[in-house]
Structure 1
Amino acid sequence: MGFVVQRLHPFIRPGVILGAARTKNAVHSQQSRWDSACAIHCLVMLLSICGLVADPSQIATRRRRLEATLWHKTAEIFQKGMTFSKLAAFIDELGCGLRTKLLERGSHREIVGFIEEELARGLLVIGSIRPVGDTQSHAVVVIGVEGFQASRQFEAHTLLILDPAEGPPAAMATCNARLHYRDGKSRRLPRYAAYSTISTAFPVVLNGAVAVGVGRPEKSP
């Protein structure tokens, strides 16, 4: 007999407010409807999960080097956004000891495989999704997977996501968006994935990803 389970990144702390190890603050960072800074919002959430940023909601008021650098970059890309190659380079430049692995402009199936592999290795992933029929991509943080567990075999079918354009995790508890990419009937992946939030659902493709390797979570500053 099998059952559905969720496998979250070990630094994630589920609860009424989705948090991270060694911090009581929420890790979600809310993107406005006007800006194109989704990649930086995702990076701030990832840094919060790693214990390198104390409170994502206070980035604009902090004067520590890391927060100040993030706020400056947010202002720089507010309207035009950021490519994943530039995001990976920016993470390396922060000097936080984070390791990056980039897969940019891959096919949907290639990106799915990349994300599955990197999550299994214990890395966090910032993924790029594009609604089918649209030309605009959007960055999200992948914090875990959901799948079907039968005996010792686990078959993942859904990515658990923190989407900066959505509200804080509440109704979904461990995430605020889900990307269902495998139906379980075939080993072959469909061309599109089903993306759902608390208020909407639509088909998407994954078209890029940056995996970020971290050590043990640092105590929040």
Structure 2
Amino acid sequence: MPALSQKLHPALYPGARLMLDHTRRPVFSQQGDWDAGSALHCAAMALSMLGRLSDPVDVRGYASGPVAHFWDRAWPHYLHGLTPSELAAFVWELGCDVQPVQAEGTAHELAHFCSGEQAAGGPVIVWIVNCRTDERHAALVVGIEERNAIPKALLLLDPAGAEPVLTACNARLEFGEPHASYVTASGSVQVAVYGAVSIRPQETSATGAGCA
């Protein structure tokens, strides 16, 4: 029988709520119905997984420090959203001692990219395109599902979805031909993968260093 395994990003602690392993603070940052800030919510969660942002949930509640700096840079983009290249530039300009790396390709090529980046400790944000409506939004890769060591699905935190309860993800990106499937509690839709951005920790950065 083919072996099926799921590999969760090591910065995460699954339980009744999904937490950051090093602080046991909630990691899920939920997107509102009016905004187009899915990539920004994903960036906040990714940076918190790398120890660069202490609170990815209440980013407006800080008067100073790295979280306030993140919000000051993020809010002008909140309603119109960010493309992969724009998010990579946004993350670089934060000055958080991280290296954004943009990738393009087929869904299978991006699956291998996400698998390799997660193994190296870099959270990845992927952009999903609904094949029926052409709607695009971003989700954070928190795990990889493999069958016989071959990536078959990405486990995702979708900021537009409900907070995951007793699980580490609220969406799955399952690879197939000619389209991938985006699976949530409300159903499954055919999608394409528009691109991905990995946020790699720089080797020279101090552990827990925040954004400048």
Judge which range, 27-36 or 193-202, deviates more.
Answer: 193-202
1:192 aligns with 2:179: yes
Equivalent-residue separation in structure 1 for 2:172 and 2:154 (angstroms)? 6
Contact 1:108–1:191 (Cα < 8 Å) also in 2: no
Residues 1:220 and 1:80: Cα distance change in structure 2 (over 3 Å): closer
Map of 2:159 onto structure 1: 164
Distance in 2 between the 1:113 and 1:3 partners? 18
Instruction: Give the alignment of 1:132-211 within 5 angstroms.
Output: 132-149=131-148, 154-170=149-165, 173-182=167-176, 190-211=177-198
Instruction: Name the aligned partner's letter for residue 179 of structure 1.
Output: L
Q: Distance in 2 between matches of 1:5 and 1:108?
A: 20
SS at match of 1:56: coil
State the AA in 2 paired with 1:11.
A
Q: Equivalent residues in 2 for 1:17-166 (5 A)? A: 17-104=17-104, 106-149=105-148, 154-166=149-161
Distance in 2 between residues matched to 1:113 and 1:5, nearest whole Å: 15
Inter-CA distance 53–122: structure 2 relative to 1 (3 Å threshold): closer
Ranges in structure 2 where 5+ consecutive residues have no aligned partner: none
Q: What is the deviation of 1:66?
A: 2.2
TM-score (norm 1): 0.85
Conserved? CA contact 1:192–1:204, under 8 Å: yes
Spell out, residue by residue over 1:152-173, the C-alpha distance to the aligned partner (whole angstroms, 9 max, x if none): xx222110101100111116x0
Would you say the 8 A contact 1:38–1:81 is kept in 2? yes
Give the letter for the 1:163 counterpart. Answer: D
Residue pair 1:22, 1:219 contacting (<8 A) in 2 also: no
Cα distance between partner residues in 2 of 1:100 and 1:73: 16
Give the Cα separation in 1 of the matches to 2:168 and 2:76: 31
Change (3 A) 1:180 1:217: farther
Deviations 1:163-186 (A, max 9, x none): 100111116x0111111115xxxx
AA paired with 1:191? Answer: P
**SS of residue matched to 1:101:** strand
- Give how far 1:14 is off: 1.4
- Please give the alpha-carbon distance, in whole angstroms, between the structure 1 residues aligned to 2:209 and 2:168: 22
The separation in 2 between residues aligned to 1:218 and 1:160, in whole angstroms, is 25
Shift of 1:24: 1.8
Residue 217 of structure 1 and its aligned partner are, at CA, apart by: 6.0
Q: Indicate whether 1:218 and 2:211 are aligned.
A: no
> Distance in 2 between the 1:112 and 1:69 partners?
32
Q: Distance in 2 between matches of 1:148 and 1:83?
A: 31
Cα deviation for residue 2 of structure 1 reads 4.1
Shift of 1:220: 9.0
Distance 2:207 2:52 in 1: 8
Which region of structure 1 is more displaced relative to structure 2, 94-103 or 50-59? 50-59
Does the 8 Å CA contact 1:13/1:21 hold for their aligned counterparts? yes
What stretches of structure 1 move > 6 A for 4+ residues in a row? none
Partner of 1:4: 4
After superposition, the C-alpha distances for 1:1-40 in whole angstroms (9 at most, x for unaligned) are 5432210111111111111221121100000011001111
Q: Which amino acid aligns with 1:148?
A: R
**What SS does the corresponding residue of 2:147 show, helix, strand or coil?**
strand
